[in-house]
Structures are given as structure tokens and as C-alpha cells.
Amino acid sequence: MRFLRVPLALAMLAAAAAAPRAAQPPAQPPQGGRGGRGGGGRGGVTVMTLTSTAFADGGSIPRKYTQAGDQTSPPLAWGNVPDGVTSFVLIVHDIDAATAPGTDDTLHWMLWNIPAATRSLPEGVPSADQLPDGARQISATGPYYRGPGAAAAGPAHHYVFELFALDATIAVPAVGAQPAQTRAAVVAAMAGHVRGKAVYVGLFKR
């Protein structure tokens, strides 16, 4: 696999998190404590599982879930959740979309304050700043899932789904700021609270 560019600021935050598989892109949010420990050093970051019935890990994302189709969010499920989890954060981003070193890549979906009892997301999560269960969401263009849209020219882009289990909730509203600012605020608020992590990757080009 060719070298995958990750925005500099996010790469620095990633240093203490271990990806579930060495072939996958590095994690991006901050970790607290020493030696890669989250939650203020109270334990290591648990490797969770993340799956989808829509496409295989490392496989092509079907048209239905992309900008070439309906832009329906794919179904996701996760497990091996550590104890003491208060909420989850899901960050979906195109790591090949950074235009220059140190710039942000494209945020396709971010859900935060997903309740601790949740173990899956259904296909087709509706557009809303805040969902009925209290979770908040945003993308680069609005409060909804933004499907992959890499151009036909060039190689397929890597769309990385990163799920984080936290021992806290995130006091960041879904409205009132630009998406980039909201993303940065959520990532910063995660520092020291990550207890578990999972990664899933899909490929797409038109």
C-alpha cells in the first residue's frame, strides 16, 4: 500500500493510539496518560471490533453509500467494548483528501456522544444536528453523513471509519461553529478519555 498522508495536527494526536492492524492508517485522536494509556493512565486502550454488512474491511464501498448514489450511511456494528465507557465517537474521513501537508482531510461524518449502551448504527441515519438518543453529528457540509466522492481520475481514496470508546461525554454542540472548528473541538475534548478504539476502511472512486 502506498504511503497514506494524514494531516499533521491529527497525526501528532495519534502518536499514542495503536491501530488494530498494522496495515491500517494510524489513529488520530489524542490519548492521555503514559505509554499510550487512555482515561488518565487508568488502563491501556482496548482494541475493539468494528464491522459492516455493506462492505468488507479494505473493500470497495458500494455506490449506494456514496455521492454517486444515495449517500445513505452504511450499517455499522462494534464489540469488545471495555468497561467504564460513557460514550462513543465515530469519525469518518478521507485521508487522501488533504491538499497539502498539515492540512485537514475531508470529514465525511462525525458522530459524538453516542450512548454507551449502543453497539450499532443502522443504515440510513437521518440528517439532524442531534439524534433522538442524544448523539450529535456533523460533516464537512452539514449535520449528516457525506458519502465518498473521489474522482474517477487517479487511485481510489481510503475512507477511514474510526470508532472511539470514551470514559466521558463531549460538551461540544453540533451547531454554532464551522465543521472544522467542531471537529477540532471534539478531538481536543477526547484527550485523556479514550478507552477503546476500532478502525474500518473502505475504498472508493467514481
* Residue 59 belongs to a domain: yes
Predicted confidence (pLDDT) per residue in 42-53, tens digit: 568 999 999 999
Question: Total structural domains in the chain?
Answer: 1
Provide the pLDDT for residue 16.
Answer: 34
By residue range, what is the domain housing residue 34?
Answer: 8-18+27-119+128-204
Give CA separation, 67 vs 97, 139, 149, 151, in Å.
15, 14, 5, 10
- In this structure, the dihedral spanned by the alpha carbons of residues 168, 138, 94 and 201, taken in order and rounded to 10 degrees, is 60
Predicted confidence (pLDDT) per residue in 57-110, tens digit: 999 999 999 999 999 999 999 999 999 999 999 999 999 987 555 557 899 999
Query: For residue 53, what is the enclosing H or E element?
Result: none
* Residue 140 belongs to a domain: yes
User: Distance of alpha carbon 12 from its chain centroid, rounded?
Assistant: 16
* Residue 82 belongs to a domain: yes
* Residue 104 belongs to a domain: yes
Provide the pLDDT for residue 177.
Answer: 75
| pLDDT interval class at 150 (50, 70, 90) | confident
* Residue 2 belongs to a domain: no
Q: Report phi then psi at 193, rounded to 5.
A: -120, 0
% of the chain exceeding 70 in pLDDT: 77
* Residue 3 belongs to a domain: no
* Residue 150 belongs to a domain: yes
* Residue 1 belongs to a domain: no
* CATH (domain of 98): 3.90.280.10
Residue 139 predicted with pLDDT over 60: yes
Residues linked to residue 203 through DSSP beta bridges, in sequence order: 60, 158
Buried b (16+ CB within 10 A) or exposed e, 133-144: eebbbbbbeebb
